[in-house]
């Protein structure tokens, strides 16, 4: 499940945009757990069918250039659950957020063996490790939004921190956590700032229409991608998206770059390894944006759209998720940082998130 209700209403339109799988597309093969383990590669989080079924995880090995699909089921002999949203590795434990199932599955980061589930969540979105004993999970909840404080040892919820509606991606800068709040089933405009030492809200920053993605650059600045706000028919952005920068020392917006389109949302903000360049999708293309630039980039680095983006810290390769027809195997396409095509491989249904190790 993507992050706005427009994705529920526009599944078929998106499918037409991406196009169905062609006969010469790679076909995934479900493989047993990797004998060498999962210590040098990329986890691909496949959401699975929106209306049923289960999400899956694929793994691309850098050392062997091979792909293993549905590795959670292969190792643990039970399905991951519906819908796989995201995954993070923290202290060599994998935290797989499963949205509709209301849980976070935890696995050994090297073997992918289950270490138990964190439950008591409602529409969870992303995990963020805070320290050796504490983690945060953002969630939409049944109404509004919040962050659940997790005891990593007992895998239980110990506190709830209120946020703006539809808490999404989070970043940690010093003792403070910044949570983008994208509105959930409605709309919002804030980034909630939390003191992670006390698990209390410091302030809410008005960033723009529906903040979704959030990253920290090399200078400690916080970048927020606001995806914009649709009208009631989901045909026009009454509030177009914008890319804004927060000064973490003052918690104020010190820079804002508005997008012009009223029909296309900017999505999937990621950074290169040096944290000097941002990448995002917009108007059916992938753009790169130097953090030092004072205007939006006018030239695309990749002339196609993706359901999700990632950047491999090992080589700065861009990973693009192609969801295909949303009912069968998707694929991942790899590019150099400058946009030159490298290769592609088949994965599970609706790939949407990348976790690099």
DSSP-derived secondary structure for 174-191: TTEEEEEE--TTS---EE
The CB density around residue 51, as the number of other CB atoms within 10 Å, is 11
Which residue in the block uniquely carries the two structure tokens 């991406």?
Answer: 18
- Counting the structural domains of the chain, the total is 1
Average pLDDT for 167-185: 97
The DSSP line for 189-242 is -EEEEEETTTTEEEEEEE-SSSEEEEEE-TTSPEEEEE--EE-TTSSSEEE--E
pLDDT for the residue 23: 38
**Residue 1 belongs to a domain:** no
Instruction: Work out the pLDDT band at 78, boundaries 50, 70, 90.
Output: very high
Q: Does a structural domain hold residue 228? A: yes
* pLDDT surpasses 70 at 179: yes
pLDDT (0 to 100) of residue 287? 98
- Please write the tens of the pLDDT for every residue from 245-260: 999 999 999 999 999 9
Of the candidates 51, 125, 45, 111, the residue with the CA atom closest to the CA atom of residue 80: 45
264 domain-assigned:
yes
Is the pLDDT at 31 greater than 60, yes or no? Answer: no
pLDDT at residue number 6: 38
Residue 97 maps to a domain: yes
Q: Are 139 and 154 in contact (CB under 8 A)?
A: no
Over its C-alpha atoms, the chain yields an Rg (Å, rounded) of 19
Of the candidate ranges 35-39, 177-181, 250-254, 284-288, the one whose mean pLDDT is the lowest:
35-39
Q: Is residue 131 part of a domain?
A: yes
For the segment 278-298, the average pLDDT, to the nearest whole number, is 96
Residue 345 in domain: yes
Query: Would you place residue 4 in the very low, low, confident or very high pLDDT band (cuts 50, 70, 90)?
Result: very low
Task: Of 7-16, 73-82, 299-308, give the lowest mean pLDDT range.
Answer: 7-16
The SS3 call for residue 80 is: coil
The model's pLDDT over 97-152, given as tens digits with 9 standing for 90+, comes to: 999 999 999 999 999 999 999 999 999 999 999 999 999 999 999 888 999 999 99
Residue 59 backbone phi and psi in degrees, to 5: -135, 125
Provide the residue range defining the domain that includes 277. Answer: 6-356
Do the domain assignments include residue 27? yes
- What gap in Å lies between CA 109 and CA 86, rounded to an integer? 15
Whether residue 135 is contained in a domain is answered as yes
Instruction: Name the average pLDDT for the chain.
Output: 91
pTM: predicted TM-score of the whole model, two decimal places: 0.92
| CATH for 97 | 2.130.10.10
Q: How confident is the model at residue 161 (pLDDT cuts 50, 70, 90)?
A: very high
> Can you point out the beta strands (E) in 81-187?
84-90, 93-98, 103-108, 114-118, 124-129, 134-139, 146-151, 156-162, 167-173, 176-181
Q: Residue 110 contacts by C-beta under 8 Å, 6 or more apart in sequence?
A: 37, 38, 39, 92
Q: Which residues, 6+ apart, have CB-to-CB distance to 145 below 8 Å?
A: 138, 139, 162, 163, 164, 165, 166, 167, 181, 184, 188
Q: Give residue-wise pLDDT tens across range 181-225.
A: 999 989 999 999 999 999 999 999 999 999 999 999 999 999 999
Q: What is the pLDDT of residues 296-341, one digit of tens each?
A: 998 899 999 999 999 999 999 999 999 999 999 999 999 999 999 9
User: Would you say residue 357 has pLDDT above 90?
Assistant: yes
Distance (Å, whole) CA 314 – CA 332 = 17
Residue 344 has pLDDT above 90, yes or no: yes
Length reported for the chain: 357
């Amino acid at each position: 499940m993507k992050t706005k209700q427009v994705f529920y209403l526009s599944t078929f339109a998106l499918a037409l945009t991406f196009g169905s799988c062609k006969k010469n597309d790679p076909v995934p093969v479900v493989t047993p757990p990797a004998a060498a383990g999962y210590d040098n590669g990329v986890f691909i989080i496949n959401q699975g069918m929106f209306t049923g079924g289960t999400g899956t995880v694929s793994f691309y090995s850098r050392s062997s250039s091979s792909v293993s699909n549905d590795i959670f089921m292969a190792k643990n002999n039970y399905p991951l659950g519906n819908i796989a949203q995201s995954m993070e590795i923290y202290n060599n434990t994998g935290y797989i957020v499963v949205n509709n199932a209301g849980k976070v599955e935890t696995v050994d980061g090297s073997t992918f063996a289950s270490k138990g589930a964190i439950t008591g969540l409602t529409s969870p979105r992303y995990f963020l490790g805070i320290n050796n004993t504490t983690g945060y999970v953002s969630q939409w909840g049944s109404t509004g939004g919040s962050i659940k404080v997790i005891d990593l040892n007992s895998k239980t919820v110990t506190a709830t921190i209120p946020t703006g509606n539809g808490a999404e991606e989070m970043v940690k800068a010093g003792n403070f956590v910044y949570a983008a709040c994208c509105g959930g089933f409605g709309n919002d405009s804030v980034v909630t700032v939390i003191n992670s030492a006390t698990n209390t809200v410091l302030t809410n920053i008005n960033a723009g229409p529906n903040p979704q993605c959030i990253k920290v650059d090399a200078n400690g600045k916080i970048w927020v991608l606001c995806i914009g706000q649709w009208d009631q028919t989901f045909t026009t952005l009454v509030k177009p998206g914008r890319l804004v920068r927060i000064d973490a020392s003052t918690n104020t917006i010190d820079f804002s770059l508005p997008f012009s389109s009223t029909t296309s949302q900017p999505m999937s903000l990621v950074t290169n390894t040096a944290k000097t360049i941002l990448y995002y999708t917009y108007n059916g293309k992938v753009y790169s944006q130097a953090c030092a630039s004072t205007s939006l980039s006018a030239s695309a680095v990749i002339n196609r759209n993706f359901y999700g983006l990632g950047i491999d810290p090992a080589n700065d390769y861009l990973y693009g998720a192609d969801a295909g027809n949303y009912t069968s195997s998707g694929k991942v396409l790899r590019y150099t940082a400058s946009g030159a095509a490298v290769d592609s491989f088949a994965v599970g249904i609706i790939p949407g998130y990348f976790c690099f190790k």
